[in-house]
Amino acid sequence: MTPARPKLAGVVGWPVAHSLSPLIHTIWAARAGIGGYYVPIAIPPGFDEFARAMDSLIKLGFQGVNITLPHKEHALRYAAGASDAARKAQAANMLTFRSEGPFAENSDIEGFSNVLKECFGPTRQNGSALILGAGGAARGVAMAIKEYGFSEIYIANRTREKAQAMASEFELTLVKWEERNDALAHIDLLVNTTNLGMLGKPPLDIKTEHVPRQAVVADIVYAPLETKLLEAARKRGRQTANGLLMLMHQAAPGFRTWFGGAALVDAELHKALVKELARRGAE
Ligand code: ATR
């Protein structure tokens, strides 16, 4: 009897070597006893480069790929069909090679929804949140927060026009970047979607002491695992959610779709990723 053909999937980006997604999928595949490989694939910037690579992956029998920078918009353009969420986010981080054509999705929204459920419970009817940043990541986060049920959502971004555009599109309240600290007193959730606080970038300048005691402080940055923002919030007794939580949750829909197994986000997976980050830091 010929053994079943291993399932193939991966993550495409430029650069892509830093991605933790291969480790996440490898752990899930091993747990489920699924024969499959999830590999990092470096594709230089540009739609034509992206499209040629996707054509090849389809021929090679890949089930699908996750997409990271700078190809999230290319994925949407390349796809024959797309989910409403991916269209609304104007970016896709999942492409599934269906027989009727490539289908684009955005699992960042589901990813952040699950972070919210872990922090606040299954649903919420009110409350307010402040989103810092108005880049690609902020769009998914804003959609998840809105869908989850927060009634007042503020947004602040260094470049005001970008925050303004998101505020009109998603019905958010615009806060000036210089006045971000003034908006903290009544929020239940603060989310950093900028790259401030990331290794090699300046820290985010924010007064966590103004954040109410019961509020959650979340960061999508995961290198370092505990950003200065999260450290300050934790030391003041606020609940925190790190970037790995979002990363693990956004990976789950791809695994279920391409490998067909359970994709459990748990402490053991988190521990393995923390260990890998520590290993890389030590290199
Ligand atoms: P991503 O897709 O990961 O969100 P991005 O689209 O490049 O990446 O967005 C990066 C975010 O970090 C933006 O909101 C950016 O603010 P601008 O829109 O003003 O560029 C924010 N950011 C980056 N460096 C910053 C800095 N030094 N101060 C304030 N915000 C910064």
The two beta strands, 128-132 and 101-105, are unpaired
Residue 2 pLDDT: 66
Where do the structural domains in the chain lie, given as residue ranges?
7-106+248-280, 109-242
Q: Please report which helix (H) or strand (E) contains residue 102, including its range.
A: strand 101-105
Q: Ligand 1 centre from 164 Cα, in Å?
A: 14
Model pLDDT for residues 238-264, shown as the tens digit of each residue: 999 999 999 999 999 999 999 999 999
How far are the Cα atoms of 12, 34, 155, 172 from residue 75, in angstroms, in the given order? Answer: 10, 27, 27, 27
Active site residue 146: no
Q: What is the pLDDT of residue 1?
A: 62
Residue 133 Cβ < 6 Å to ligand 1: yes
Separation in Å, CA 56 to CA 49, 51, 52, 82: 11, 9, 6, 20
* Residue 136 CB less than 6 A away from ligand 1: yes
Structure tokens at 53: 């690579």
Give the containing element (helix H, strand E) for 144.
helix 136-148
Which residue's CA is the closest to the ligand 1 atom numbered 3? 137
The residue annotated as part of the active site, out of 7, 59, 72, 162, is 72
Say whether 109-242 and 7-106+248-280 share the same fold: yes
Cα distance between residue 251 and residue 73, in whole Å: 18
DSSP letter string over 242-262?
Answer: -HHHHHHHHHHHHHHHHH-S-
Tell me the CA–centroid distance for residue 138 and ligand 1, in Å: 9
Average pLDDT over residues 131-141: 94
What is the rounded distance in angstroms from the CA atom of residue 206 to the CA atom of residue 158?
13
CB 187 within 8 A of CB 213: no
Question: Any idea what DSSP says for residue 99?
Answer: T
CB of 192 closer than 6 angstroms to any ligand 1 atom: no
Candidates 194, 199, 220, 229: which one to mutate for ligand 1, based on the most atoms within 8 Å of Cβ? 194
Residue 158 and residue 176: Cα distance in Å, rounded?
8
CATH fold label, 7-106+248-280: Rossmann fold (3.40.50)
Instruction: Identify the helix (H) or strand (E) that includes residue 42.
Output: strand 36-42
pLDDT of residue 5: 85
Q: In angstroms, rounded to a whole number, what is the distance separating the alpha carbons of residues 265 and 270?
A: 8
Q: What is the dihedral of CA 255, 257, 260, 266, to 10 degrees?
A: 30
CATH topology of domain 109-242: Rossmann fold (3.40.50)
Mean pLDDT for the chain overall: 95
> Residue 282: pLDDT band by 50, 70, 90 thresholds?
low
User: From ligand 1's centre to the CA of 276, what distance in Å?
Assistant: 26
Q: Is the pLDDT of residue 4 over 90?
A: no
Give 152's strand partners: 128
Nearest residue (by CA) to ligand 1, atom 31, is: 194
**pLDDT single digits (tens) 39-74:** 999 999 999 999 999 999 999 999 999 999 999 999
Q: How many Å lie between the centroid of ligand 1 and the Cα of residue 194?
A: 5
Closest by CA to 277, choosing from 199, 194, 193, 197, is: 199
Q: Which of 50-54, 120-124, 220-224 has the highest mean pLDDT?
A: 50-54
Query: Rounded to an integer, what distance in angstroms lies between the CA atom of residue 254 and that of residue 157?
Result: 30
Closest protein CA for atom 6 of ligand 1? 135
pLDDT at position 281: 85
Beta carbon of 156 within 6 Å of any ligand 1 atom: no
pLDDT score for 125: 79
Q: How confident is the model at residue 136 (pLDDT cuts 50, 70, 90)?
A: confident
At 71 the pLDDT is 96
> Stretch 24-41: mean pLDDT, rounded?
96
